[in-house]
């Protein structure tokens, strides 16, 4: 199918060039982002990355556990927009609804049978792409299962190295 310069807000030519570059040299796909979260007060934090910053936590704002769900949802939206564009498909509507269960006992310092993280996450992708074939829709669903960096991160153990420094 003929590719347009931009589709679904994605610069298809640029993304395809990047995809080809990564196919030729896998290291071109390496990423190592670093961000800093600073305490504002109470349960509020400001997360800074490059030239941007967002505040989280506190009354009425997303908290860390909601951000995990948000990261999964946003990642799959990004993934579907890119891959639908690769297929030449125009998205009419796209949303992801995510929910999960966790218990705060351990977070509160109480003895808990389970850890304090999610023990289950459910999410639903809803997409409207007029003219898409069942095979194209299945291809997009498979991308969510096989190619989502956040889903991949959540479904496997990742080594975490904590360095804790304190001034007293």
Tell me the per-residue pLDDT of 16-56, one tens digit each, with 9 for 90 and over.
Answer: 999 999 999 999 999 999 999 999 999 999 999 999 999 99
* Nearest Cα residue to 147 out of 22, 14, 5: 22
For range 61-86, the mean pLDDT: 96
Tell me the per-residue pLDDT of 54-70, one tens digit each, with 9 for 90 and over.
Answer: 999 988 889 999 999 99
For range 114-132, the mean pLDDT: 94
pTM, to two decimals: 0.89
* H-only helix segments in the chain: 12-24, 64-86, 134-147, 149-154
The full length of the chain comes to: 168
Q: Show Cβ contacts of residue 123 under 8 Å, excluding neighbours closer than 6 positions.
A: 69, 72, 73, 76, 96, 97, 98, 99
The chain-wide mean pLDDT, for the chain, equals: 93
Domains of the chain: 63-154 (3.30.300.20)
- The predicted pLDDT at position 1 comes to 47
Tell me: pLDDT of 2 over 70. Answer: no
Contact 67, 56 (CB under 8 A): yes
E strand intervals along 87-133: 93-101, 120-128
For range 3-9, the mean pLDDT: 81
Q: Higher confidence at residue 15 or residue 1?
A: 15
Confidence of residue 4 (pLDDT cuts 50, 70, 90): low
């Amino acid at each position: 199918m003929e590719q347009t310069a931009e589709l679904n807000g994605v610069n298809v030519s640029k993304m395809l060039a990047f995809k080809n570059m990564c196919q030729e040299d896998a290291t071109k796909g390496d990423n190592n982002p670093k961000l800093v979260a600073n305490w504002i007060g109470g349960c509020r934090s400001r997360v800074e990355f490059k030239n941007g910053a967002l505040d989280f936590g506190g009354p009425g704002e997303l908290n860390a556990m909601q951000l995990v769900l948000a990261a999964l949802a946003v990642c799959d939206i990004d993934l579907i927009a890119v891959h639908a564009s690769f297929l030449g498909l125009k998205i009419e509507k796209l949303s992801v609804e995510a929910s999960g269960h966790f218990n705060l006992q351990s977070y509160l310092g109480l003895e808990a049978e389970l850890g304090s993280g999610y023990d289950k996450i459910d999410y639903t992708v809803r997409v409207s792409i007029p003219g898409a074939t069942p095979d194209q829709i299945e291809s997009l669903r498979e991308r969510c299962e096989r190619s989502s960096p956040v889903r991949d991160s959540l479904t496997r153990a990742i080594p975490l190295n904590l360095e804790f420094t304190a001034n007293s």
